[in-house]
Amino acid sequence: MSSITLRKPIGFVGKFNRVLKNNKSTPKVLATLAGGIVAGTAIYVYSNNNNTPNKNNHLGKILASNAGAVAVLNKEKNFKDYQQVYNAIAEKVRDQDDADDGAGRYGLLTRLAWHSSGTYDKNTNTGGSYNGSMIYSPESTDGENAGLEVARDFLVEFHYLFPWLSRGDLWTLGGVVAVQECGGPKIPWRPGRKDLEDRKKVPENGNLPDASRDADYVRKVFTRLGFDERETVALIGAHCLGKCHTDRSGYDGPWGPSFNMFTNDFYVRLLQNWHVRKWDGKKQYEDDETSSFMMLPTDYALKEDSKFLKYVKMYAEDQDLFFKDFSKAFSALLEKGIEYPKDVKPFEFKTLDEQED
């Protein structure tokens, strides 16, 4: 269970959520409420693949030129507007703190933000979170994204509450909320992503990490993303959150007991003794002490490679250092492939707890 205390929702979102829970015609309710909340905006039609036709209306001019992934900034919106979005997502996350047998939605939303960004290829400057393209083929069929429709469905109501927000911005901001609300570090974040208009820009499958592989493979994938070994180990530390499901990834179980709290526990446990689990599923490791927790082959590879192991030990001994490095690397991951003007500074959002102090 999480150590975070549940509280009454802030603002209109609590009332909005209560209506949703008690109404069988959710899409109609969403349309009605969205019309009242956001005057003058179009009503967005819900579809099974979350393909909300968000065209980013009333956006400011495209900043810079030539590159296809240039940040598009909405001049009518400021920090307070995005903090409101943050709060709305955070309230719903808190309401579902006990979901998935106590794992909540923290790991799920972090994974959505990670995977929507992790298709980036620095060699071709393609992929990444800019277009919010996961709902389109072939990216939608990538086996590494199995189960993420749950995360997208979780966030879809916010397309109606905030129709000026792109999918890419919503999905990455959801990851920021997840990390911060379960005790993690501040994640600097900037808006500016634009919903996909050209289906040819949907990245091919195969760019997301395959959890069954070895250290050389891990190094190759993260190098393609533009990260060094230290950043690689820091980013994989997000496995402190959530758990694996056989009906999604084919793996099973949590990495540790505190799967709804952001800590350095992943590294501490990785340094303990593990063995290959004997079962009918994919190869994974389980801890010698309790046989209750798991590690993926790519996790265990960090322990077997001396260059990676150095940082595993470093983060196991110093959680503050892990938080600092993760914050920087995760923020960079969410912006891979996006060009921002130098004067556009990132936002750092206050958690719900901080706003109540």
Catalytic residues: 115, 255
More confident residue, 19 or 276: 276
Give the model confidence (pLDDT) of 204-232 as tens digits: 999 999 999 999 999 999 999 999 999 99
Integer-rounded Cα Rg, in Å, for the chain is: 20
pLDDT at residue 18 in the model: 43
d(CA 186, CA 305): 29
pLDDT at residue 198 in the model: 83
In the chain, what are the domain boundaries? 12-207+332-352, 215-322
pLDDT at 40 over 70: no
pLDDT at 256 over 50: yes
d(CA 190, CA 95): 26
More confident residue, 119 or 357: 119
pLDDT at residue 49 in the model: 39
- The burial of 357, by beta-carbon neighbours within 10 Å (0-12 exposed, 13-18 middle, 19 or more buried), is given as exposed
Supply the DSSP string of 254-323, one letter for each residue: ESSS-TTS-SSHHHHHHTS-EEE--SSSS--EEETTTS--EE-HHHHHHHHSHHHHHHHHHHHH-HHHHH
pLDDT at residue 115 in the model: 98
pLDDT at residue 339 in the model: 97
pLDDT at 128 over 60: yes
pLDDT at residue 68 in the model: 60
To the question of domain 12-207+332-352 being in CATH 3.40.50.450, the answer is: no
pLDDT at residue 67 in the model: 47
Supply the DSSP string of 79-96, one letter for each residue: HHHHHHHHHHHHHHHHHT
Give the model confidence (pLDDT) of 259-308 as tens digits: 999 999 999 999 999 999 999 999 999 999 999 999 999 999 999 999 99
pLDDT at residue 88 in the model: 99
Give the model confidence (pLDDT) of 73-82 as tens digits: 999 999 999 9
pLDDT at 336 over 50: yes
Q: Percent helix, strand, coil in the chain (nearest 5)? A: 45, 5, 50
Give the model confidence (pLDDT) of 158-183 as tens digits: 999 999 999 999 999 999 999 999 99
Domains 12-207+332-352 and 215-322 share a fold: no
- Pseudo-torsion of CA 106, 179, 136, 205, nearest 10°? -100
pLDDT at residue 63 in the model: 33
To the question of domain 215-322 being in CATH 1.20.1250.20, the answer is: no
d(CA 251, CA 248): 8
The first and second tokens of residue 181, run together, are 């609300």
Contact 2, 12 (CB under 8 A): no
